[in-house]
Each structure stands twice: as C-alpha cells, then as structure tokens.
Amino acid sequence: MKRIVTIQDVSCFGKCSITVALPIISAMGIECAIIPTSVLSTHTGGFEGFTFRDLSDDIPKIQEHWKKYALKFDMIYTGYLGSHSQIDYVMDFAREFRNDKNLLFVDPAMGDKGRLYTGFDASFPPHMARLCAMADIVVPNLTEASFMLGIEYKEQYDESHIKDVLKRLCALGAKIAVLTGVSYEKSTQGAVLYDSEKDEFYSYFTENIPTSFHGTGDTFASVFAGALCQGLSKEEALKVAVDFTVECIKATLPDAENHAYGTKFELCLPSLINKLNK
C-alpha cells in the first residue's frame, strides 16, 4: 500500500486543504498521514472573522517523533501554508523525509483570479517559490505562478505564454510543473504540464463550466498526487484529476448559490474509485 503525508491547514468548515485531501487520497486506496499546519474555523475565501491557530511549532516536533520510527512516505504533498515559518519548517521536513524513490509534490495554494488570498502579502510568493524549487512536481494556477515568477498576471493569454510560464517554473528548480485552470477559449479549460527532464508538454482540456467553487484546486491536486502515487502516467493522472474536478463542479451546480464555499465532491468519490479501477 502506498503512503502519502499531506501538510496543509485544517479549515474546520469550508471543504478545502486537509478535509478534501484526506478523503480523496483514502478513497484512492492510499494511506494518508497528515500534518495540520494551522486550524482555521473556516477557509479565508468569503468568510469574515475566521479564527487562525498557528501550529507551526508542532511541525518540527512531529518530524522528530516520526524520525524515531523511521517512517517512510511515497509522497510528501504540501498545500496551503499560512506563514513564512511554516514554509521553512516544511522545507526542513522535506529534506529529512525525502529519498531517491519518493516525490515532493507542492501545491503553492495562495491565490486565484490575479489576487493573493486574504492574509498574504507580496513577500509570501517568493518564499513559496523556494519550496517549489525543491519539488519534483508543482501545481500552481496562473495567479500563483505569476506571483512566484514576478511577472504580470494575464487574464487573456495564448499557448506560448503558458509554455513560457511552465518553463520558468521549472527553471526555478521544479522537475515537473503543471498549470491548472488554463483556458485558451471560453468553451474549454484544463491543465498543461511541462516535464523539464524530457522537455515535453502534455495537456488535457475538457468543457469549461463558468461557475467557480472554492477548493477545486485542492481537489485537482489531491487526485493528481494520488494518481501519480498509484503509478498512473502523467497523461493519465492529468486526465483523471481534471475530469474528477469537473465532475465535482457539475454535481454542485444545481445548488451553486448555497455551495460557493466548496463542491459536493463526496458524491463523486465512488466515480473516482471506478475511474482508477478501469
């Protein structure tokens, strides 16, 4: 059985980060250990007055304890991190638990639609870029990539811009970069991957549903990470992750006004299991 450790916050209500990653990775038949980096009453998108308990200091203590048991992970998957020190601790953790067989998978969750999430300032993306530089795989959206690279965020772009951004992300140090939420025309969206060792691009596009829900980046990242960990090829993993994310959006659409805070991904888990068994 494969084993992933995912390091991100617990948003108690709102369906993102660990409350998405844990059920998805478990449903994919992978053991999922967690390191909660902070506990928030809700995620920071659309809720006012959320609580934030910083658990940064627990990260090195958990690391020391796990070292005694020589725990091994097939993948270290990091998501939303709430402070500079959390990024530093996570980099330490990765140095300790990385080996020549496992993968460091980084989702630099910190913004969308050209803006950083509440709580982050301009000093945060360059710090996150240092974690991305260590990674085997990074999966930002175009907002996060643009902030990390210090380039203008474009609403409208073409394929050459996306390819250029992907190459620059790999030039930071990541082996493979994926841009999520790419849409060259209104009717389609998907993800584009660049493998810097092979100098190859892969993309997968499907229908674009013009309603956005919170947490879909976390859904994509969890499925993509799980699928790679289960040994699917990069192309297959991309397709499964994009298709599943769209399925979750479609399952939520009839009740969209009550569910902007997160998708009804739970209803789609049986279908994810079927996709993997095919």
Where along the sequence are the contacts to ligand PXL (CB under 6 A)? Answer: 9, 11, 16-17, 40, 43-45, 80, 109, 117, 215, 217-218
Shortest Å, Cβ 159 to ligand PXL: 27
C-alpha to C-alpha distance for 39 and 11, rounded to whole angstroms:
6
- Least distance from C-beta 174 to ligand PXL, angstroms? 19
The nearest distance, CB 138 to ligand PXL, in angstroms, is 15
Q: Which is nearer to ligand PXL, 54 or 236 (CB)?
A: 54
Residue count of the chain, please give it. 278
Closer residue to ligand PXL (CB): 82 or 190:
82
Separation CA 267–CA 251 (nearest Å):
7
Q: Which of 32, 41, 1 is nearest to 225 (CA)?
A: 32
Instruction: Please report, to the nearest 10 degrees, the dihedral formed by the alpha carbons of residues 154, 109, 13, 82 taken in order.
Output: -120
Number of neighbours of residue 143 by Cβ within 10 angstroms: 19
The residues, ordered by sequence, that sit 6+ positions from 90 with a Cβ below 8 Å of its Cβ are 7, 37, 59, 78, 81, 131
Q: Which helix (H) or strand (E) holds 206?
A: strand 200-207
Least distance from C-beta 143 to ligand PXL, angstroms?
A: 12
Taking the C-alpha atoms of residue 148 and residue 156, their distance in angstroms, rounded to an integer, is 19
Smallest separation (angstroms) from ligand PXL to the CB of 10? 9
Between 37 and 63, name the residue whose CB sits nearer to ligand PXL. 37
Q: Which is nearer to ligand PXL, 190 or 215 (CB)?
A: 215
**Residue closer to ligand PXL (CB basis): 80 or 124:** 80
* Angstrom distance (rounded) from CA 34 to CA 22: 8
Q: Which is nearer to ligand PXL, 66 or 244 (CB)?
A: 244
Question: Whole-number minimum distance, CB 40 to ligand PXL, in Å?
Answer: 5
